């Protein structure tokens, strides 16, 4: 695990009508998520979204359907886990989780089963000036997709 990420296992409550799943209780993280934005994205199979993050913003993610391989990379030079990565799978066939990453942690994923729907909660509204984007093949990140 690297500094600035958190993964929580989610509980699903099933009955004959369907299911209910609580993703996140903001009161547990409200100090970071009081001005944020809730967003939904759909991604097609084999699409790779690589190396993006934020200078000041935190983010929670939840995959609703499909399957992705996630790689988080610590790009925060003052972190004790600087330049470390953490990879895992989220979605169909894997335990239901939500995952968090802090400012300076870069997020990357490839869609393996489509359509992949992801819901994410950010601690602030989108601002291109606050965003970090690094090309997938940038030599500063030692990871091969």
- Other beta carbons less than 10 A from residue 113's beta carbon: 13
Q: Is 5-10+26-130 CATH 3.90.180.10?
A: no
Distance CA 37, CA 32 (A): 12
- For residue 113, the model assigns a pLDDT of 98
- For residue 69, the model assigns a pLDDT of 98
- For residue 27, the model assigns a pLDDT of 73
Using a cut of 0.75, tell me whether the model's pTM lies above it. Answer: yes
For 71, 115, 125, 128, the CA distances from 109, given in Å and listed in that order, are: 6, 14, 22, 20
Per-residue pLDDT of the chain (145 residues; tens, 9 = 90+): 889 998 989 888 888 988 878 887 777 766 666 778 889 999 999 999 999 999 999 999 999 999 999 999 999 999 999 999 999 999 999 999 999 999 999 999 999 999 999 999 999 888 999 999 999 999 999 999 9
């Amino acid at each position: 695990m690297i500094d600035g990420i958190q993964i929580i296992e989610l509980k699903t409550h099933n009955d004959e009508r369907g299911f209910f799943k609580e993703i996140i209780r903001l009161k547990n993280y409200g100090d970071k998520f009081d001005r944020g934005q809730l967003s939904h994205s759909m991604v097609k199979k084999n699409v790779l979204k690589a190396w993006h993050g934020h200078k000041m913003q935190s983010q929670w993610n939840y995959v609703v359907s499909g399957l992705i391989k996630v790689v988080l990379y610590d790009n925060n030079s003052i972190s004790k886990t600087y330049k470390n990565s953490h990879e895992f799978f989220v979605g169909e066939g894997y335990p239901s989780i939500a995952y968090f990453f802090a400012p300076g942690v870069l997020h990357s994923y490839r869609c393996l089963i489509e359509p992949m729907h992801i819901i994410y909660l950010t601690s602030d509204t989108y601002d291109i000036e606050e965003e970090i984007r690094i090309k997938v093949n940038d030599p500063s990140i030692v990871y091969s997709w």
